[in-house]
Structure 1
Amino acid sequence: MSANGVDRKELLVILGSGESGVGAALLGRQKGYDVFVSDAGKLKANYKQELIDNGIEFEEGHHSEDVILRADEVVKSPGIPDKNEMVKKIRAKGIPVISEIELAYRFKGDSKIIAITGSNGKSTTTSLIYHICRKAGLDCALVGNIGYSFAKQVAEDPKPLYVAEISSFQLDDIKEFRPDVALLLNITEDHLDRYDYKFENYISSKFKIIQNQQPGDYFIYCQDDEVITGYLKNINLQTNPLPFSMRQELNKGAWIKGDQMMLKVQEERVSMSIYDFTLKGKHNQYNTMAAGIAAATLGIRKEKIREAVADFHSLEHRMEHVATVRGIEFINDSKATNVNSTWYALESMSRPTILILGGVDKGNDYTLIEELVREKVKAIVCLGIDNSKIHAAFGHIVPVTDTDNALDCVKQSFRLAEKGDVVLLSPACSSFDLFKNYEDRGRQFKEAVKEL
């Protein structure tokens, strides 16, 4: 109650006005909160219009401390780190900070959630699970880190099933969030700048995906990932484990034996040929096993899983064939923003490769791909502002040249390549030095290829 005896609406402050922030604002408003959106930067025109249309108060270019520190709860955008001054003040005052997926979870009702996390392969696996579910006739939505806000979906078009791609940043601020089916694909060193450069902090952040799970839930994970299996030895698992592996047969889960993928969740064992998978490469066999298990936990029939796995199309910016120009194939893997992603891309190359690397380095350890570079790469073309680390890592192995825009980069790569070669954009770095994001980098790369 307020001083005059009238019930006061709870003040929900949204910090950051991107896809997740605006989604949280719309859901908060719908559920009766007093909502205020604050962004230290500039709001995108479409998001600003959405807030205006819905009568939601906002500010841009600064944070009004007097309003923000009156909040009952704050929804923090995943892009804002904890070391941000405003976040420090909010926490110091004891105001609860949650993520947008936590808010969405609060109001999802009886709907089920399949949540997918991991350092690599999240988007592909999430999209494949969604594709299988749609193929099986399930009424579901694709949400989270992949592009559409979970909170906005809950507010505008609730579904009985949500297939959600979840990043570690989104998991950092959960309290009750609990997926019915959680997938942890792999853990490799990534985003360490957000975790005090401590790998163990990043690992525990990823494992938050199962922190609230119960005995009726499922946990799908990679048995071949030593980081995951090492961590599992030290925790008491409250959920049903369903591992997947290429190295061993399992009692339950999925594994590859010869050219067959075996899938066993309940009593029935299903097998399908890996040659029928649309997605090629070892990493995609892992992604397909994980997606197959997730589908099986929902009781989707094996025929539907087979059908969906065979006609799924890969994502834009993820090992995407762009064009073949004079016998030289160009592949856009701009979504590879860490070294491990680039390792997977190189591992699937069967022809001599011109590799495009570079951007904002997040503490990369290039020794991970040194062997593959020796084996498969003819030359490296850098696409970034500071390429000194790449020169130091590979200059003694292959020729390394510098470019600072997509057009020059593609022209230089084309000059270095011969008929039968592949030009692979798989940068191992984020894109913010020269581009808006990895999508912008990928699109500019594709445009430049078209101009050859």
Structure 2
Amino acid sequence: MAGDGSGGEVLDHFDHLRPVCVEHLEASMNDLEGKRVMVVGLGVSGRAAARFLAVRGAQLVLTDRRPDAPTAGLPAAEIHLGEGDPAWLAGVSLLVVSPGVPRDSALVVEARRRGVPVIGELELASRFVAGPLVAITGTNGKSTVTTMVGEALKRAGMNVFVGGNLGVPLIEAAGREFDALVVEVSSFQLETIETFHPRVAVHLNLTDDHFERYSGLEEYGRAKARIFENQDPGDFAILNRDDRNVFALAPGLRAQVVSFGCGVPPPIGNAIWPEDGSLAFRVGERRGRIDLSGFRLPGRHNLANAMAASAAALAIGAPPDAIGAALAEFRPLAHRIEFVREWHGVVFIDDSKATNVGAVVEALEAIKPPVILIAGGMDKGGDYTPLRKPLRERVKLAILIGAARDTMRRALDGAVEIAIEPGLAEAVRLAAQVACPGDTVMLSPACSSFDQFRNYAERGEVFKELVRAL
């Protein structure tokens, strides 16, 4: 992506994911009463979209490819479970698709062929919420930065909605008044936007991830870059200048760019950077410093998160003192380099949210060695070799588990001592047996959890239960 230079091409090349012309979408949104609307995928966001559409008087068709998908609590609707049948689309004038639904789903492909608008819950919600949007994307750190921004704005006395991919769907904010709406947005969600227009858009970083869905970093990066496509010169685009793939977008953006990074800041332009125990900033007409003396999160990546969150809060109008106070009070989110317990001089850390290689590299940089690393799960198609250097330098033993363990062993062989275990319980048992006082045992998988768990949160909770039972 760095070779794209202008950044404009990155946005232009993603036309093939735009589901329908804006004029057609606007006509569909004007009046949902009596319209036949299909919701594809009945997870958290799909259910929230269905409830909203029902209140608006839409005639609902609800579908999920899972034959055993729960249907209790859904609004009145025609419900179909299992593999999608294009016949279900009869009379449908709008398709609302959940983020996890494949782009080649039979229903999605046929809807587009028929000219039926295909949008996601994020796009639907953005048409009905009131207040400036702050949207955060990137491979790693989205949830942390989204929460940080929300806390900073609340500290400034604002009435704030915090959600999106983080947990509470944005559609839950429809019909309510907020001073700002802060949302985590994923590449999957950005694939189906049309008019989604954040006042502040943040792109944190870009590393290998989700290659089970995308052909490579180029296509994945283009999906992320869509966060900026509807911004105008009155908006702010906050970019990581230490990430060449992210910062390459800057010249092609219409919004005012604010860069953040740990290196030397540019001599001119909007920027935020660390300096003498604080964050110095130039954002629009504002100049000043944010006190970092109380900030406790470890690692260079968390310093970058604090800069990104501060820049976003400043762009919305929060005072530096409120931002500094929020950063001082901030604690790690669950399953993100989270301290579990110390046992016989050994520290146990839950970093189950690290579902890609880049997140594990960041975690290893933040944790004092020597480390016993528990990694593995379901492979996402990425390259594990960037782990070789930090493993060699900071890890005494890598315990590999799950479906990806043999793939990981081949990629990491020779960099560190490796042990293979079938699952998490066996890995924790082995780690406890071989750990010495002063060691850190960290679950940081570099893989998704779906081979053995419902999600990363369940994996993290199981890890914590196993550790507390030692």
Could you say which TM-score interval applies, normalised by the shorter chain? over 0.9
- The residue that corresponds to 1:4 in the other structure is none
Offset from partner CA, 1:322-370 (integer Å, 9 cap, x none): 1111010010000000000001001112220001110111122122121
SS in 2 for 1:263: strand
Which one of 179, 188, 191 corresponds to residue 198 of structure 2? 179
Aligned positions of 1:59-98 closer than 5 A: 59-98=80-119
For the 8 Å contact 2:33–2:58, the answer to whether it is kept is no
**1: CA distance between counterparts of 2:386 and 2:276?**
27
For the 8 Å contact 1:249–1:257, the answer to whether it is kept is no
Tell me by how many angstroms 1:279 deviates. Answer: 1.7
Moved more, 177-186 or 275-284: 275-284
SS in 2 for 1:78: coil
Tell me by how many angstroms 1:275 deviates. Answer: 4.2
Say whether 1:359 aligns with 2:359: no
Q: Measured at CA, do residues 380 and 31 of structure 1 come closer, stay the same or move farther in structure 2, by a change above 3 Å?
A: same
Moved more, 32-41 or 345-354: 32-41
Say whether 1:335 aligns with 2:358: no
Which amino acid in the other structure matches residue 32 of structure 1?
Answer: G
**1: CA distance between counterparts of 2:281 and 2:404?**
46
Say whether 1:19 aligns with 2:44: yes
Q: Measured at CA, do residues 152 and 64 of structure 1 come closer, stay the same or move farther in structure 2, by a change above 3 Å?
A: farther
**1: CA distance between counterparts of 2:371 and 2:151?**
32
For the 8 Å contact 1:379–1:416, the answer to whether it is kept is no
- The residue that corresponds to 1:3 in the other structure is none
**2: CA distance between counterparts of 1:259 and 1:141?**
30
Tell me by how many angstroms 1:75 deviates. Answer: 0.6
Which amino acid in the other structure matches residue 150 of structure 2?
Answer: Y
SS in 2 for 1:103: helix
Identity %: 36
Tell me by how many angstroms 1:372 deviates. Answer: 0.7
Say whether 1:443 aligns with 2:461: yes
Moved more, 298-307 or 118-127: 298-307
TM-score by length of 1: 0.92
For the 8 Å contact 2:290–2:323, the answer to whether it is kept is no
**2: CA distance between counterparts of 1:215 and 1:368?**
38
Which amino acid in the other structure matches residue 16 of structure 1?
Answer: G
- The residue that corresponds to 1:396 in the other structure is 414
For the 8 Å contact 1:274–1:285, the answer to whether it is kept is no
Tell me by how many angstroms 1:17 deviates. Answer: 0.4
Offset from partner CA, 1:242-280 (integer Å, 9 cap, x none): 111211124322112354321221444322454421322
**2: CA distance between counterparts of 1:419 and 1:320?**
19
Aligned positions of 1:1-80 closer than 5 A: 9-42=34-67, 45=70, 48-51=71-74, 54-80=75-101
Offset from partner CA, 1:410-436 (integer Å, 9 cap, x none): 111111211000001110000111111
Which amino acid in the other structure matches residue 153 of structure 1?
Answer: A
Q: Measured at CA, do residues 63 and 392 of structure 1 come closer, stay the same or move farther in structure 2, by a change above 3 Å?
A: closer
Which one of 128, 134, 149 corresponds to residue 129 of structure 1? 149
- The residue that corresponds to 2:261 in the other structure is 245
Moved more, 365-374 or 269-278: 269-278
SS in 1 for 2:72: helix
Which amino acid in the other structure matches residue 106 of structure 1?
Answer: R
SS in 2 for 1:49: coil
Q: Which runs of 5+ in 1 are unaligned?
A: 1-6
CA-based RMSD of the aligned residues comes to: 1.8
For the 8 Å contact 2:235–2:255, the answer to whether it is kept is yes
Tell me by how many angstroms 1:150 deviates. Answer: 0.9
Which one of 370, 374, 377 corresponds to residue 388 of structure 2? 370
For the 8 Å contact 1:346–1:372, the answer to whether it is kept is yes
**2: CA distance between counterparts of 1:56 and 1:320?**
42
**1: CA distance between counterparts of 2:295 and 2:273?**
14
Which amino acid in the other structure matches residue 322 of structure 1?
Answer: V
Q: Measured at CA, do residues 172 and 306 of structure 1 come closer, stay the same or move farther in structure 2, by a change above 3 Å?
A: same
SS in 1 for 2:48: helix
SS in 1 for 2:407: helix
Q: Measured at CA, do residues 395 and 275 of structure 1 come closer, stay the same or move farther in structure 2, by a change above 3 Å?
A: farther
**2: CA distance between counterparts of 1:334 and 1:286?**
20
SS in 1 for 2:307: helix
- The residue that corresponds to 1:159 in the other structure is 178
**1: CA distance between counterparts of 2:285 and 2:392?**
46
For the 8 Å contact 1:404–1:434, the answer to whether it is kept is no
Which amino acid in the other structure matches residue 244 of structure 2?
Answer: E
For the 8 Å contact 1:382–1:401, the answer to whether it is kept is yes
SS in 2 for 1:219: strand
Tell me by how many angstroms 1:112 deviates. Answer: 1.2
Tell me by how many angstroms 1:160 deviates. Answer: 3.7
**2: CA distance between counterparts of 1:437 and 1:102?**
25
Tell me by how many angstroms 1:382 deviates. Answer: 1.1
Q: Measured at CA, do residues 103 and 389 of structure 1 come closer, stay the same or move farther in structure 2, by a change above 3 Å?
A: same
Say whether 1:284 aligns with 2:305: no
Higher relative contact order (CA 8 A, sep 6+): 2
